[in-house]
Copies of this chain bind each other. A is one copy, B any other.
Amino acid sequence: MRRREFLAAAALGAAPLAARGGGPEGCTARATGGLGIVIERASGSVLIVDRIARAAVARVEGLGDLSHASAVYSPDERFAFIFGRDGGLTRLDMIEARIAGRVMQAGNSIGGAISDDGQLVAVSNYEPGGVRVFDAETLEMVADIPADSKTVGLVDAPGRRFVFSLWDRGETWIADFEGAGAPLITRIAGVGDRPYDGLVTGNGRFYIAGLFGEDHLSLIDLWAERPAPRPILPGYAAHDEKLPVYKMPHLEGWAYTGEAFVLPAVGLHEVLWVDGRSFEPMGVTPTHGQPVFAMARPDGRQVWVNFAHPLNDVVQVIDTQSRQVIHTLNTGPATLHMEFAPRGREVWISVRDENRVKIFDTQSLEQLAEIEATSPSGIFFTARAHRIGL
C-alpha cells in the first residue's frame, strides 16, 4: 500500500514549491495547524499553503475534475479529503504533499463530510445517487446507502451521523453509524419539493434545506425526539421561477454571527438577516451585486460578501451591529471564495482571473500578501478539522 501510494504520487506529480525546514535532510517536520489548500479547478490540482508563512508549500496534481470541489480534514489535521465533481475522492497528505489515497467512487458527486470521530468519510452522489461512506484511513467502502435519488446537502452531526437530502424525493435522511453494523437510517419525509442544498448550524443542531420548488426553506431540529421539517422564511425564494437553477445560492454561503444568520438573497442585490433563535426574518442590507457567499468573520462582528458575475470583482464588508456596508474592497476579477484564519485575524480571497490568492488584514483591511495560484477557487484551512457540521 505504502509503495503503491508513493508510485501514484510520483506519477501524478507532487511538486514542492519551497524547501521545507525543521529537520534533517528528507525530513518533513511540520506543524499542521497553519496549513490549508487552494483548489486549482482548471488544472485539477491543489496548492498546499502555509497561512502563517503566507506562502505556497507545494502543488499536488492529478485530482481530476475539481469543479465545485470541497474538502474536510482528519482530526489531526494531517489529511485533507477532497471531493471532486467527477466522483473522485482524494486523501491528501498535508505533510508529505502527496496523494495518500484516491478512489473514483461514483460518476458524479457533490461534496462530503467526515464523522466526528474522524473514522468515516461520506460522499453525496448525483450519479448513481445515494451516499457512499469510506474508511478514512484506507478509503475502502464501508457503507453504500442507495436512495433512489440524487443526494445533496451532506453534513456531519455529532455521534457518527451524516445528514443529507434527496432531490428526487423531498426527504432528509439521517444515517447513524454509532452502532456496529449497518447504519441506522432515519427518513424525514415532507421536507419539500426538490431540496437542492443543506447546511447544519455550527453546533450540529439545526439542519436547513434549500428547496428548488418551494418559496420557503425547511428547518429540522436534529435534537428533537422525532425530527420533523418546519417551513421557515416564506417568500424567501419566491423569485425562483424567473431564475435559472444555477442562480440558487449554495447554503454554505450562510453566515452565523452569534445572534443572526446572514444569507444571500436569491437573484437580488441584498443579503437577508434571520434571527438565530426564532428563524424569523429581521431585514435586509442592500449590496453591490447578487451575493454568492456571506461569511462571518469568526468573531461575528463583520460579514464579508462576494458576488455573482459580472459584479464579481468586489468584496463588501458589513458591520453586524449597524447592518451597513462599511467597506468595499476591489479585490479583482472573478473573486470566488474567502477563508478566514480561525481567529479571524486575516482573510484569504481567491481572485481566479488574476491567478492569485490575496490576503487581507481584517482589522486594517490592508492587503498583506498575495500568492500565485492557477485559477484558484475554494480555500480550506486545516482548522476546519475542529469544527462540527462541515
Contact = CB atoms under 8 A, between A and B. Distances in A.
Identify which of A117, A259, A321 gathers the most chain B CB atoms within 10 Å of its CB. Answer: A117
A31 B387 contact: no
A95 B29 contact: yes
Interface in A321-371: 321, 341-346, 363-364
Interface stretch (A182-190, A284-292, A297-305): A297-305
Interface string A128-159: 00000000000000000000000000000011
Contacts of A34: 75-77
A382 interface: yes
Interface stretch (A19-27, A61-69, A227-235): A19-27
Contacts of A345: 116-117, 158
Contacts of A73: 33
A273 to B, nearest CB: 16
Contact of A386 (B30, B178, B363, B386): B386
Given A299-B204, A343-B386, A27 B26 contact: yes
A30 B78 CA distance: 8
A94 B31 contact: yes
A223 interface: yes
Interface in A229-265: 258-259
A105 to B, nearest CB: 24
A385 interface: yes
A285 B342 CA distance: 34
B33 A76 contact: yes
A220 interface: no
A351 to B, nearest CB: 23
Interface in A364-390: 364, 382-383, 385-388
Interface residues of A, number: 58
Given A158-B345, A386-B386, A388-B299, A258 B203 contact: yes
A1 interface: no
B386 A33 contact: yes
A223 B33 CA distance: 29
Given A33-B385, A77-B32, A52 B301 contact: no
A31 B343 contact: no
A169 interface: no
Nearest to A259: B277
B298 A388 contact: yes
Interface string A171-208: 00000001000000000000000000000000111000
Contact of A158 (B51, B96, B301): B301
A13 interface: no
A75 B78 CA distance: 15
B95 A321 contact: no
A193 to B, nearest CB: 30
A203 B31 contact: no
A281 interface: no
A131 B194 CA distance: 58
Contact of A33 (B27, B32, B52): B32
B77 A33 contact: yes
Given A24-B26, A343-B387, A382 B223 contact: no
Contacts of A23: 23, 26-29
A302 to B, nearest CB: 10
Across chains A and B, which 9 residue pairs bring their CB atoms closest together, nearest first? A33-B77, A31-B78, A34-B76, A342-B386, A27-B27, A31-B76, A31-B32, A383-B386, A116-B345
9 contacts: A31-B78, A33-B382, A35-B76, A50-B76, A52-B76, A117-B345, A203-B300, A204-B299, A386-B386
